[in-house]
Amino acid sequence: MKTIKVSVVTPDGPVYESDVEMVSTKAKSGELGILPGHIPMVAPLAIGTVRLKKEGSTEYVAVTGGFLEVRPDKVTVLAQAAERGEDIDVTRAEAAKERAERRLQAKEADIDMQRAELALQRAINRLKVTGRI
């Protein structure tokens, strides 16, 4: 089966590099599936999961925004933040989710609601990648 090279990179350095059979992720415009030989494109990413199909299994990387660059032989994910599923600290992610939910429920004037909502989305995404949600 044909493969495509994938790199997930953050400002802190590379998070994932491998040859995979398919990449699927959520762009701001909707769900994308990329196979080897895909037409070149660039798409902004939403908070979501990059799913990497390889040798009959799927690996997951949680990403927090950024861009997806596709070339026929390579996919590069330039993410603000990214974590492989097995590297996520579940206890920390659950604590972040609870903290964000408390902030949103409090509805206090000094709380940035948009920031709290984004923190909740990031925490939920990290927990989904680990299979906890």
In the predicted model, is pLDDT for residue 78 greater than 90? Answer: yes
- Number of Cβ atoms within 10 Å of the Cβ of 81: 16
% residues pLDDT > 90 (the chain):
61
In the predicted model, is pLDDT for residue 21 greater than 90? Answer: yes
The CATH architecture one would assign to domain 89-130 is Up-down Bundle (1.20)
Task: Look at strands 48-54 and 57-63 and give their pairing.
Answer: antiparallel
Task: Look at strands 41-45 and 66-71 and give their pairing.
Answer: antiparallel
Mean pLDDT computed over 18-43: 94
Domain boundaries, the chain: 4-85, 89-130
**What pLDDT, on a 0 to 100 scale, did the predictor assign at position 109?**
67
pLDDT per residue as tens digits for the range 40-72: 999 999 899 999 999 989 999 999 989 999 998
Residue type, 37: G
| Residue 89 structure tokens | 């600290």
Residue type, 22: M
| Residue 10 structure tokens | 């953050």
CATH of domain 4-85: 2.60.15.10
Fold match between domain 4-85 and domain 89-130: no
